[in-house]
Amino acid sequence: MSMKASTRQVDGVTIVDLSGRITLGEGSVVLRDTVKDLLGKGQKKILLNLGDVSYIDSSGIGELVSAFTSVRNQGGELKLLHLTKKVHDLLQITKLYTVFDVKDDEAGAITAFGK
């Protein structure tokens, strides 16, 4: 299953709804291009909704790290929403869970972005 990304705006925050697999190849490229496109348009408050992401490999983890760093370097914020158990466990064992700001509730996540 390939990855799909769609974006929506809520209170100045861009929510990216991702579904499928973030893996080496297409999945990683879709994520990279989406974040690059948003930053290019000046949208720097980004909430990645991973609720429908069934699988991430090391390349996908790398892409999440890269997205986080790119957004932060441009003075923005990137948060993660609705991790599946698999993705949660993967971020735990790679010690990235505490690096990312992970949220379970969309409304709460939006409020948590700096105004």
Ranges within 80-99 binding another protein (CB under 8 A): 86, 90, 93-96, 99
C-beta atoms surrounding 82 within 10 Å: 21
Site string for another protein, 47-76 (x = CB under 8 A): ----------xxx-xxx-xx-xx-------
- What is the C-alpha separation between 46 and 16, in angstroms, rounded? 7
Rounded to a whole number of angstroms, the CA Rg of the chain reads 13
- Compare residues 17 and 63 and give the one whose CB is closer to another protein: 63
- Compare residues 68 and 113 and give the one whose CB is closer to another protein: 68
CA distances from 49 to 7, 16 (A): 10, 6
**Residue 11 CB, nearest approach to another protein (Å):** 29
Encoding tokens for residue 10? Answer: 């809520």
- Compare residues 17 and 60 and give the one whose CB is closer to another protein: 60
